[in-house]
């Protein structure tokens, strides 16, 4: 990928998924496409990581969407692939799956049907999760004599706490999209036929804000996840101070007083 532009790389064919870039809507979609269950292979994880990085560098993209074709988001990983992969390769799995979190741009996961294993882990690494009423979330690795290996239990515990995480991980329990909304895993839960409308609505909402302020907020919140409160407040103050000198902040203030829509340029 280093020898080509992000646009050239994104025009490639990928095994198990497709990439769609719509610069008019400033939206890019990574679409899982290995029917019927959209199983995610070992090589696919690294390719998806590279695509996330390319989309993050794409000037025509403001928001990245991770979704799937068919009635299921993903039943998880290729089980046979775990036995065939080298320890070195397996050790990189969490880094690949964390690609959405490392993106500076906002990333939305759109979940329906089975959202299991690494499919759930990829979704947990995204900033927003829109679930449908058909969604079932699970980390079923205990059924294989294993545990989640790409950040699943760690990210989940940060969101829902130790008791609920043990319920889901140690008992391999499935929870619905509605339950996920109650527990704070899902950002929204909508009827299945409303998934795309809800997704585009969120994309348009995020596009309205300053790209610079969005990047700053995402990094600050992610970095402060493990920080003591005093350090988190200190970092928030530093970020606030830097944004005060930005052109976007000046534009936002001027637009507010002029009662007009702000035009942010990410500067």
Do residues 111 and 131 lie in contact, with contact meaning Cβ atoms separated by under 8 Å?
yes
Q: Give the mean pLDDT of the chain.
A: 93
pLDDT band at 8 (very low <50, low <70, confident <90, very high): confident
pLDDT above 90: residue 255: yes
Separation in Å, CA 256 to CA 107, 160, 226, 249, 253: 27, 37, 35, 11, 5
Chain centre distance of CA 136: 17
Residue (of 110, 167, 111) closest to 137 by Cα position: 111
Give strand pairing partners of 21. 28
Separation in Å, CA 196 to CA 106, 111, 132, 138: 17, 11, 10, 23
* Residue 263 confidence (pLDDT): 93
pLDDT band at 4 (very low <50, low <70, confident <90, very high): low
pLDDT above 90: residue 91: no
d(CA 240, CA 243): 5
- pLDDT, mean of residues 49-75: 97
d(CA 54, CA 56): 5
pLDDT single digits (tens) 193-247? 999 999 999 999 999 999 999 999 999 999 999 999 999 999 999 999 999 999 9
- pLDDT, mean of residues 97-108: 98
């Amino acid at each position: 990928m280093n020898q080509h532009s992000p646009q050239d790389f994104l025009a490639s064919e990928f095994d198990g998924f497709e990439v769609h870039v719509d610069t008019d809507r400033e939206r890019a979609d990574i679409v899982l496409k290995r029917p019927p269950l959209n199983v995610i292979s070992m090589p696919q994880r690294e390719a998806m990581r590279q695509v996330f990085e390319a989309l993050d560098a794409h000037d025509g993209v403001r928001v990245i969407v991770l979704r799937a074709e068919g009635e299921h988001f993903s039943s998880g990983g290729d089980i046979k692939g775990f036995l065939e992969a080298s320890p070195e390769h397996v050790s990189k799995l969490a880094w690949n799956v964390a690609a959405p979190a490392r993106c500076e741009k906002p990333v939305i996961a759109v979940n329906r049907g089975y959202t299991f294993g690494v499919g759930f882990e990829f979704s947990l690494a995204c900033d927003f999760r829109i679930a449908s009423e058909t969604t079932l979330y699970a980390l079923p690795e205990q059924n294989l004599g294993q545990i989640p290996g790409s950040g699943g239990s760690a990210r989940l515990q940060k969101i829902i706490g130790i008791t609920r995480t043990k319920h889901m991980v140690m008992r391999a329990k499935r929870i619905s999209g509605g339950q996920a909304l109650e527990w704070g895993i899902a950002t929204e839960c909508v009827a299945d036929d409303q998934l795309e409308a809800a997704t585009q609505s969120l994309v348009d909402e995020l596009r309205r804000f300053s790209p610079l302020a969005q990047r700053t907020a995402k990094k600050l919140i992610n970095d402060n996840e493990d920080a003591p409160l005093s350090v988190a407040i200190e970092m928030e103050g530093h970020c606030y101070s830097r944004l005060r000198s930005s052109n976007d902040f000046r534009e936002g203030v001027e637009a507010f007083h002029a009662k007009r829509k702000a035009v942010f340029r990410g500067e």
